[in-house]
């Protein structure tokens, strides 16, 4: 097995690209795929001030590493979610990476700042943990990005993540979600621009990248996500991918090129006016935003006593 | 486990309907699902002269049986495809069923009539067998239905078949196919109306129906289809269905209700004018239809010598 570029001994075979690479050329391949995605979807300019949402896992540490290697100015944001040992360990990976690469890591602890953690929030709101977790992360992402003056929030969603979300939206033909699914979510008043530069790279490629460049990352999956439908969608996609390499990437890319514009054209303007949350100021359709309602329920406090910090000021 | 209707001992549990049925009420359930599909999609009138495409497998024999039980006037059409023992055996099941139920079975043998069988056609055309087979069946379906004065052609595609085709079209975002996928294909000049009354019933339900009402059917899958992508799509859907019963039916039903109209609106009129095939008269975009070209290639005959029989006159 020889490297496609230098004919040296190859380290990895990428079946959907029908290519093998040595360690050096694999690293360049991955970085060039990120560069292509940034360019193709006009994600951000070379001078952009970037905030990377960092979980301590392979994808978010890798994209932070790659953006740094490509010369971008990118800080990290780690959110302590209070998911027992899983959160404690993942924080260590995020901090160690930041120190080793002399990068700036913003940290927000959900419990310290708002008085509850994800398991408590899920129980109080009678929601599945992934719902309370996603809501909390989005709220803090938005707040830190806006308060910190960042131009764009980068998340480490890879091709498998995007394919699985697309798959779920497609299995239920959620045409409104399909109209909005895109690797770039434009900034709107009260919401930062959000982009996914790993959309051209899959999980195995990201794990291999971390191994090759020496990134230590949290191997465990979140214990609260086990058995969720999202993971089953990934299994179904992997079953198809194993028989026809490239199907997963084509599913996402052809969606973006051929189907997404059709859904976007058909989407009704929701007509919902957003107004500032009466408590925290985040834009929301109703009086209180979903996160402040969650916080009140999880802490058992009246809403007016819910913490409302300026996170990065 | 008790029957939902009569509280007698249940024979089968249908997880996606959260219901169990005894033999009698299961039979009524299946027949009522067919009645619902015929009604919901306005498939045909009570007086329609119906032609059922019969393979000898569970689905086509079951729908022929059900239409007969519901009082419709339905002949069968069996096509001998020359797939070695598989075709020989499936013909016996089709004939025995027709005799046992005093029904009229039209038979067309591909080799006797056109001088080639599916394996020869696939080799000559350098196509996968499923492609040559599908093209031949569609041609003969159209011809027999039109020449025989039938109002509608019924095929035994069940929910799993429809879900797998939809899944394949979705994985590749074939928006033109998605614009046309529907349980009713309207008649056009040169093409009969085609309908799929089993769209609300899955494979397991159809197999159980055959067992309960005593239909002997061909158990083997076609040996030429083994390992094709269609079967892998079914596996992927079954993986999801096993975790969330009802997902497969929702995938098809929500597509028809929510997404199909969006794709149909967006579809460009192809603008392709159809003209009669210069040899057989079937409508086609080019001079010779694909089936006559396949026949000429498979038989090694000049096109003007290719058989052009009136099949049912």
Cβ pair A247:B175 closer than 8 A? no
Min Cα separation B225/chain A (Å): 15
Q: B56: how many CB neighbours lie within 10 A of its CB?
A: 23
Q: Which of B240, B250, B262 faces A236 most closely, judged by CB atoms?
A: B240
Q: B120 vs A298, B24, B304, CA distance in Å?
A: 69, 45, 20
Q: What is the pLDDT of residues B143-167, one digit of tens each?
A: 999 999 999 999 999 999 999 999 9
- Residue A153: inside a domain: yes
Q: A268: how many CB neighbours lie within 10 A of its CB?
A: 8
Q: CB contact, 8 Å: A259 with chain B?
A: yes
Q: Which domain holds residue B111?
A: 40-269
Strands, E, within A103-204: which ranges? Answer: 105-109, 152-154, 184-185, 193-195
Mean pLDDT of B269-278: 79
How many domains are there within chain B? 1
Q: Which residue of A has its CA nearest to B241?
A: A232
- Residue A307: inside a domain: no
Supply the CATH number for residue A202's domain: 3.40.50.620
**pLDDT at res. B313:** 42
Q: Kindly provide the ipTM of the predicted complex, given to two decimals.
A: 0.82
- Residue A297: inside a domain: no
CA nearest neighbour of A17 among B171, A62, A25 = A25
Q: B28 vs B31, B46, B52, B66, B298, CA distance in Å?
A: 5, 19, 21, 10, 46
- Among A175, A249, A262, A264, the strongest candidate for a mutation testing the B interface, having the largest count of B CBs within 10 A, is A262
- Residue B8: inside a domain: no
- Residue B265: inside a domain: yes
- Residue A15: inside a domain: no
Question: Alpha-carbon distance A38 to A195, whole Å?
Answer: 9
Asked whether the beta carbons of A64 and A52 are under 8 A apart, the reply is yes
Mean per-residue pLDDT over chain B, rounded: 92
Mean pLDDT of B117-131: 89
**pLDDT at res. A308:** 77
Cβ pair B171:A255 closer than 8 A? no
pTM value? 0.87
pLDDT at B49 over 70: yes
Pairing between strand A105-109 and A152-154? unpaired
Min Cα separation A305/chain B (Å): 41
**pLDDT at res. A313:** 43
- Residue B90: inside a domain: yes
Asked whether the beta carbons of A187 and A283 are under 8 A apart, the reply is no
Asked whether the beta carbons of B240 and B247 are under 8 A apart, the reply is yes
Q: B217: how many CB neighbours lie within 10 A of its CB?
A: 21
Cβ–Cβ pairs < 8 A, chains A and B: 67
Contacts with B175 from chain A: Cβ below 8 Å: 258-259, 262
Q: Which of B175, B247, B258 faces A171 most closely, judged by CB atoms?
A: B247
Cβ pair A265:B266 closer than 8 A? yes
- Residue B205: inside a domain: yes
Contacts with A250 from chain B: Cβ below 8 Å: 171-172
Per-residue pLDDT tens digits of chain A, which is 313 residues long: 899 999 999 999 999 999 999 999 999 999 999 999 999 999 999 999 999 999 999 999 999 999 999 999 999 999 999 998 888 899 999 999 999 999 999 999 999 999 999 999 999 988 888 889 999 999 999 999 999 999 999 999 999 999 999 999 999 999 999 999 999 999 988 899 999 999 999 999 999 999 999 999 999 888 887 767 888 899 999 999 998 999 999 999 999 999 999 999 888 666 678 888 888 888 888 788 999 999 999 998 887 777 777 775 4
């Amino acid at each position: 097995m020889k490297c496609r570029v230098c004919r040296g001994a190859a380290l990895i075979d990428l079946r959907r690209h029908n290519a093998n690479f040595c360690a050096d050329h694999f690293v360049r391949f991955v970085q060039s795929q990120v560069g292509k995605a940034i360019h193709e979807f006009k994600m951000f300019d070379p001078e952009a001030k970037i905030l990377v949402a960092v979980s301590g896992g392979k994808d978010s540490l890798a994209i932070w590493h790659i953006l740094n290697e490509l010369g971008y100015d990118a800080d990290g944001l780690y959110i302590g979610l209070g998911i027992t040992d899983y959160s404690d360990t993942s924080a260590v990976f995020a901090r160690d990476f930041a120190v080793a690469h002399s990068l700036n890591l913003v940290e927000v602890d959900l419990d310290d700042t708002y008085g509850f953690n994800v398991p408590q929030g899920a129980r109080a709101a009678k929601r599945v943990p992934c719902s309370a977790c996603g809501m909390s992360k989005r709220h803090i992402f938005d707040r830190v990005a806006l308060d910190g003056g960042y131009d764009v929030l980068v998340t480490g969603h890879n091709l498998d993540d995007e394919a699985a979300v697309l798959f779920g939206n497609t299995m239920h033909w959620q045409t409104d979600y399909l109209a909005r699914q895109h690797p770039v979510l434009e900034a709107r008043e009260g919401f930062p621009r959000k982009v996914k530069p790993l959309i051209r790279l899959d999980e195995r490629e990201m794990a291999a990248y971390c191994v090759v460049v020496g990134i230590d990352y949290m191997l465990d999956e979140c214990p609260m996500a086990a058995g969720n439908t999202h993971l089953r969608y990934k299994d179904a996609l992997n079953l198809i991918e194993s028989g026809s390499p490239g199907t997963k990437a084509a599913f996402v890319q052809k969606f973006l090129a051929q189907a997404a514009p059709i859904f976007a054209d058909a989407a009704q303007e929701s007509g919902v006016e957003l107004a500032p949350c009466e408590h925290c100021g985040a834009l929301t359709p109703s009086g209180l935003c979903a996160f402040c309602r969650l916080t009140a329920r999880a802490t058992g406090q009246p809403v007016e006593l819910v913490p409302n910090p300026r996170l990065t000021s």
